[in-house]
Amino acid sequence: MKRTAFFISDGTGITSEALGHSLLAQFDAIEFEQITLPYIDSVDKANEAVHKINSAAESDQARPLIFDTVVDENIRAIIANSNAFKIDVFSSFLKPLESELGADSNYSVGKSHGIVERTRYKDRIDSVNFAIDNDDGARTKQYANADIILVGVSRCGKTPTCLYMAMQFGIRAANYPLTEEDLEFNKLPSVLEEHRHKLYGLTIDPFQLAAIRHERRPNSRYASLDQCDFEVREVEKLFKKLNISSINTTNFSIEEISTRVMAHAGLERRMN
């Protein structure tokens, strides 16, 4: 079974996407074609969106799904006339919340993802820059300022996890790749010793690691299953020996890895 889902917003569409993805993920038996239509902030754009929605309905022979975070009532009314099943995020959640709080909401376009508070935005950018500057052991002198240091073999997910934690939570995350030489001596590089309390390990299934590395360096020793199996086995032994908390990233998304690492490490979000 195939259905089309539209995420429609007069802002970035991030909120409608986040809600929609979470709900659609519960339906494994259905294949969803997911289409995001951001910045639908005029009547013309709304009519164009309705045309796309109705075309999808005709093509699929089934009503598309709409996850909508449009503020303007006129634009919402136009979209509501499309041949689709519509979930209006604001009317579904804000109206009951207004009733409970006894106050009207601001109904501001893009407020949840705009630069509402400059200090908070600057913190996010600083955290992202920190993650980039301290990627792959590039600047170990800054580790004193890190909230957490991810360690693991090459290509196990350290960099994207650091960047996600920086973007979403304002966490200053560094990462350091444990090399074959480190693993052969079964010890941490000296630069990590004084920061052992900040270390958190990432590991991965050797078969998946080999597949990931093969995309980067095809048919190399680096990407061979034997090499990947050796490195994963040795890094897990090192984590156990030094009592370094770790997570196997094989079956988790970057979002899940990040939140699990933060929960295990006792880190709290810096940005609200």
- Positions at the binding site for ADP: 152-159
| Binding-site residue ranges | 152-159
- Strands of the sheet containing 199-203, edge to edge, are 173-177, 148-152, 199-203, 246-248
Calculate the alpha carbon distances from 185 to 86, 104, 205, 269 in Å: 59, 63, 22, 36
Task: Count Cβ atoms below 10 Å from residue 72 Cβ, excluding itself.
Answer: 16
Interacting residues of 162 by C-beta distance below 8 A, sequence separation 6+: 131, 134, 135, 150, 173, 174, 175
State which H helix or E strand residue 109 sits in: none
Helix (H, G, I), strand (E, B) or coil at 125: helix
134 burial (CB, 10 Å; 0-12 / 13-18 / 19+) is buried
Task: Count Cβ atoms below 10 Å from residue 198 Cβ, excluding itself.
Answer: 18
Cα separation, 55 vs 193, in Å, equals 60
CA atoms within 13 A on the CB side of 84: 30
User: Are the C-beta atoms of 39 and 11 separated by less than 8 Å?
Assistant: yes
Assign 3-state DSSP to the chain and report helix, strand, coil percentages, each to 5: 55, 15, 30
